[in-house]
A = this chain, B = another copy of it.
Amino acid sequence: MKNITTPATTVERLPLYYRYLQKMDSQGVEVISSKELGDGLGIPSTQVRKDLSYYGEFGRRGVGYEVSDLMKNLERILGLDNNWEVVLVGAGNLGQALVNYGGFKKLGLDISYVLDIDPDKVKSNLGNAQVYSMKELRRVVTDNDIRIGIIAVPSEVAQQVADELIDGGIKAIWNFAPIHLRVSEDIKVRDEDLSIGLISLSYYLSN
C-alpha cells in the first residue's frame, strides 16, 4: 500500500463494489474474482483490482476475494461502520423521497432528523424521523452531534441553510439545490444536481 492519494473516481466506485458484494453475499456467494465483480458492474477487472489496491491487499492470488471479508474492509474504508446519523433539511417531494429511499439503512446510514419550514409538517413523522421546525436546526445538529446534512430546499435559501448547518457542526453536505454553495475549505460538499442528468441525455441524443 503506497502513500498515494486515491483518485476521486475510485471513491465513487467503492460503493458500487460494496453493494454488489452485499448482493452476492445474500445469494450465498463466498468468493468472487475481480473479473466477476467487474462484469457485474460494467467495470474492467483491472480497475477493480487497482481501486482496491489503494487500501490494501484483500484478495488471494489464484483464488479471488472472500466476499464477507472484502465487505468488512469496505465498510471500514467507507466509514459505514460509523452508523452516521443524518439530518435532512426540506421535506418537500424530494426530501420525502430521500427519507423513504430504502437504500440508505442497508448501508448503515440513517436520516434521523428532518426539518421543514411548513408548520403542518412539523410534529408529524416522516419515515422513522420526526419533523422539526426550521428554528430548531442548530439545536438538533449540535445536540445530536450530527456531521452529515442533506439540503433539499429551494435554491434561494440553500446557502443560508448551509451556513446554519455548518454553524451547528455539520462537516459534510449533500446538496440537491442547483446552486454553488460557498463554504470553508474543511467542509465537504457534494452536489447532486438532478437536471444535469436529463440535460446530458438530451445532449447525447442531439450529437
Contact = CB atoms under 8 A, between A and B. Distances in A.
Nearest to A204: B188
B196 A109 contact: no
A82 B202 CA distance: 8
Interface of A: 11-12, 14-16, 18-19, 40-42, 77-80, 82, 84, 86, 92-94, 96-98, 100-101, 103-104, 107, 109, 147-148, 150, 171-174, 178, 180, 188, 190, 192-207
B78 A202 contact: yes
Could you say how many copies of this chain the assembly holds?
A: 2
Nearest to A15: B199
Instruction: Across the A-B interface, give the 9 residue pairs with the lowest CB-CB distance, nearest first.
Output: A79-B206, A93-B97, A172-B201, A97-B97, A15-B199, A79-B202, A103-B195, A94-B97, A188-B204
Contacts of A171: 205
A104 B148 contact: no
30 contacts: A12-B200, A14-B203, A15-B196, A15-B200, A16-B193, A16-B196, A19-B178, A40-B180, A42-B180, A77-B203, A78-B199, A78-B203, A79-B202, A79-B205, A79-B206, A80-B199, A82-B206, A92-B97, A94-B101, A96-B97, A98-B194, A103-B178, A107-B199, A109-B195, A109-B202, A147-B205, A148-B202, A172-B201, A172-B202, A172-B205
